[in-house]
């Protein structure tokens, strides 16, 4: 089993971001529930075929064989459990490794691979390798990402809508991401 977060890790992150401990725990809860890893030790991922389509200029979207890994619009139609996501990721990786890494969200905080630099890494590959080591690396990437995108103040104010918009994009309301964060925060702030 890969190393998981400790209470001290959460405290460290809250201190670095200047927010309440319950806020960090709420984000972790909403993004990955219990763990950042699958039962086989692989980091949790969610492969986004619309991102892969964009990063590869749609060249794989024209072939039926790739319809579940490269498509021009966001859909959850092809999402599967963690192991199914790896099957899709590995197929995309065989076609274009860098685009595949950038097209998945990774670990306990589900940071998109195309944000590798904002998460503190010089290459997508280093980002992927770090996500495979420990939840502490997931947390460090999260802290760096939040700082580099200026989302610390949303966490400090518990501005769930503002944070959700910045972290998950404009579709956050459709997925009720802000409501989920608020509900999780209530659990951890008691």
Residue 90 three-state SS: helix
Please state the pTM of the whole predicted model.
0.95
Write out pLDDT tens, residues 159-179: 999 999 999 988 888 889 999
Torsion of CA 170, 44, 113, 21, to 10 degrees: 70
For residue 51, give Cα distances in angstroms to 17, 140, 181.
Answer: 29, 24, 25
**Phi and psi at residue 27, to the nearest 5°:** -65, -45
d(CA 136, CA 50) in angstroms, rounded, equals 29
How many CA atoms, within 13 angstroms, populate the side-chain half-sphere of residue 120?
14
Write out pLDDT tens, residues 38-91: 999 999 999 999 999 999 999 999 999 999 999 999 999 999 998 999 999 999
Write out pLDDT tens, residues 20-39: 999 999 999 999 988 999 99
CB–CB of 166/149 below 8 Å? yes
């Amino acid at each position: 089993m890969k190393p998981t977060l400790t209470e001290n890790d959460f405290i460290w992150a809250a201190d670095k971001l200047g927010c309440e401990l319950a806020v960090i725990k709420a984000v972790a809860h909403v993004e990955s529930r219990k763990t950042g890893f699958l039962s086989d030790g692989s980091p949790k991922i969610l492969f986004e075929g619309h991102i892969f389509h964009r990063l590869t200029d749609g060249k794989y979207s024209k072939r039926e064989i790739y319809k579940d890994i490269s498509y021009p619009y966001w859909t959850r139609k092809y999402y599967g459990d963690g192991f199914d996501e790896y099957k899709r990721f590995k197929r995309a990786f065989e076609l274009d490794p860098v685009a595949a890494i950038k097209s998945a969200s990774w670990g306990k905080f589900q940071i998109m691979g195309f944000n590798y630099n904002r998460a503190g890494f010089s290459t997508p590959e280093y980002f992927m390798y770090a996500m495979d080591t420990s939840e502490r690396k997931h947390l460090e990437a999260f802290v760096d990402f939040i700082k580099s995108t200026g989302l610390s103040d949303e966490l400090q104010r518990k501005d769930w809508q503002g944070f959700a918009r910045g972290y998950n994009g404009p579709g956050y309301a459709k997925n009720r991401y802000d409501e989920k964060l608020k509900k999780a925060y209530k659990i951890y702030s008691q």
